[in-house]
């Protein structure tokens, strides 16, 4: 009897030890898919806003030679078609002047020339002999012709990540789990109904507090633009990403920009942001109302090649 009692006690003790061992087993949690244990940085709202403000304060102008890979389609529709990469030149001058000139591969003829001053944009398409004029904000009803949905303001917002506006507010969220280690700064504005809504999210990697993603939303909460950033590098002490992956799901186009050469804060003349309609091209004025047709006119008999 005593022997059975001792055996039962030993068995119970072993069970407790085994159970305790199972409960106390440590499990390493991999962060952002890294085998090494990273040292995560901490930042509050003020620190994250300072990162956004510093880029706007430091960059007055930018000239860049880039490689661009355009794509048409949408993840929502399950099909994205990428096209051959082409060389492009980007010029920017504070506050909202931007010009992008794209060249076809190999032959290096102009594929498009696009300029914006903040409210209106001009787009020259030599292959279609068209000169397109429109408002810089996205059209209320996207055009079936994806090229007509292209807006310089999308590139401007993607290249230069702005802090919240004067009437906007922001609050950070710490998203740190098995797969992520980021701060997400939600930027809010007041909607047409008087209620606050998220208009933009900026994602900061907690390994280095560099910006890795920016998402912009419409009034319904759908994504207008989703931008991913990588390869941050200092140019004379000013950080700038090397790869900028832009996706516009509602307008069904995207482009990956890889910077090959960058000059920051070197003077750029005002005439570099002027794009006049070449003679002999067809003028298309894009309407902003749903279903509004684009006005079309002919600018003249002769066609002048734009070499700027």
Mean pLDDT over the full length of the chain: 81
Domain count, the chain: 1
Residue 56 confidence class, pLDDT cut points 50, 70, 90: confident
**Spatial CA neighbour of 253 closest among 38, 75, 15:** 75
Residue 73 confidence class, pLDDT cut points 50, 70, 90: low
CA distances from 131 to 8, 54, 156, 192 (A): 91, 37, 21, 34
Q: Is the pLDDT higher at 7 or at 109?
A: 109
CA distances from 160 to 100, 120, 122, 183 (A): 15, 18, 20, 19
pLDDT tens per residue across span 284-296: 998 644 444 455 5
The pLDDT of residue 6: 41
End-to-end CA separation in angstroms for the chain = 103
Within a domain: 155: yes
Give the mean model confidence (pLDDT) for residues 64-76: 80
Residue 142 confidence class, pLDDT cut points 50, 70, 90: low
Instruction: With residue 17 as reference, give the H or E element that holds it.
Output: helix 2-24
Please state, as a whole number, how many other Cβ atoms lie within 10 Å of the Cβ of residue 107: 7
Range in 102-116, 185-199, 200-214, 266-280 with the lowest mean pLDDT: 102-116
For residue 225, with 0-12 CB atoms within 10 Å meaning exposed, 13-18 middle and 19 or more buried, which class applies? buried
Residue 174 confidence class, pLDDT cut points 50, 70, 90: very high
The pLDDT of residue 304: 42
Within a domain: 307: no
Within a domain: 27: no
Give the mean model confidence (pLDDT) for residues 269-290: 85
pLDDT tens per residue across span 222-248: 999 999 999 999 998 899 999 999 999
What DSSP assignment string belongs to 149-204? Answer: G--HHHHHHHHS-PPPPTT-EEEEEEEESSS-EEEEEEEEEE-TTS-EEEEEEEEE
C-alpha 185/C-alpha 11 separation (Å) is: 55
C-alpha 197/C-alpha 168 separation (Å) is: 10
pLDDT tens per residue across span 218-229: 999 999 999 999
Give the mean model confidence (pLDDT) for residues 184-209: 95
Within a domain: 150: yes
C-alpha 61/C-alpha 74 separation (Å) is: 32
Query: What tokens does 227 get?
Result: 């931008």
Does 173 score more than 60 pLDDT? yes
Within a domain: 304: no
> Is the CB of residue 150 less than 8 Å from the CB of residue 187?
no
What 3-state class would DSSP assign to 242? coil
Domain with 168, as residue range(s), is 45-298
Within a domain: 28: no
Within a domain: 62: yes
Q: Which long-range contacts (CB under 8 A, 24 or more apart) does 122-127 make?
A: 122/275, 122/277, 123/147, 123/150, 124/275, 124/277, 124/278, 124/281, 124/306, 126/306
The pLDDT of residue 7: 44
Report the CATH number at residue 175.
2.50.20.10
Within a domain: 170: yes
pLDDT tens per residue across span 1-51: 554 454 444 444 444 333 444 444 444 444 455 555 679 999 999 999 999
pTM assigned to the model: 0.78
CA distances from 308 to 90, 168, 233, 305 (A): 12, 38, 29, 9
Does 76 score more than 70 pLDDT? no
Give the mean model confidence (pLDDT) for residues 76-104: 81
Instruction: With residue 227 as reference, give the H or E element that holds it.
Output: strand 223-230
CB contact set of 79 (below 8 Å; sequence gap of 6+): 73
- Express as a percent the part of the chain with pLDDT over 70: 73
For residue 66, with 0-12 CB atoms within 10 Å meaning exposed, 13-18 middle and 19 or more buried, which class applies? buried
The pLDDT of residue 1: 52
The C-alpha angle with vertex 72 and arms to 136 and 242, in degrees rounded to 5, equals 75
Q: Is the pLDDT higher at 34 or at 110?
A: 110
Range in 6-15, 134-143, 174-183 with the lowest mean pLDDT: 6-15
């Amino acid at each position: 009897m005593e022997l059975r009692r001792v055996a039962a006690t030993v068995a119970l003790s072993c069970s407790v030890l085994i159970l305790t061992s199972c409960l106390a087993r440590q499990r390493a949690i991999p962060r952002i898919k890294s085998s090494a244990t990273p040292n995560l940085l901490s930042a509050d709202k003020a620190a994250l806003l300072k990162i956004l403000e510093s880029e706007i304060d430091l960059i007055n102008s930018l000239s860049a030679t880039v490689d661009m890979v355009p794509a048409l389609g949408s993840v929502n529709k399950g099909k994205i078609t990428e096209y051959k990469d082409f060389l492009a030149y980007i010029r920017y001058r504070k506050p909202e002047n931007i010009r992008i000139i794209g060249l076809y591969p190999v032959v290096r003829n102009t594929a498009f020339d696009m300029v914006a001053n903040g409210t209106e944009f001009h787009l020259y398409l030599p292959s279609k002999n068209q000169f397109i004029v429109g408002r810089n904000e996205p059209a209320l009803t996207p055009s079936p012709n994806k090229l007509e949905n292209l807006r310089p303001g999308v590139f401007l917002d993607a290249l230069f990540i702005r802090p919240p506006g004067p009437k906007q507010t922001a609050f950070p969220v710490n998203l740190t789990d098995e797969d992520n280690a980021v701060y997400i700064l939600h930027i809010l504005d007041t909607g047409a109904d008087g209620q606050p809504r998220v208009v933009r999210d900026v994602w900061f990697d907690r390994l280095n507090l560099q910006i890795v993603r920016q998402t912009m939303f419409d009034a319904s909460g759908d994504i207008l633009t989703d931008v991913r950033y990588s390869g941050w590098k200092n140019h004379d002490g000013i950080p700038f990403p090397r790869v900028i992956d832009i996706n516009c799901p509602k307008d069904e186009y995207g482009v990956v920009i890889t910077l090959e050469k960058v000059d920051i804060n070197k003077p750029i003349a005002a005439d570099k942001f002027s794009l006049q309609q070449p003679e002999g091209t067809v003028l298309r004025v894009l309407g902003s109302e749903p279903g509004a047709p684009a006005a079309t006119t002919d600018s003249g008999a002769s066609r002048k090649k734009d070499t700027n």
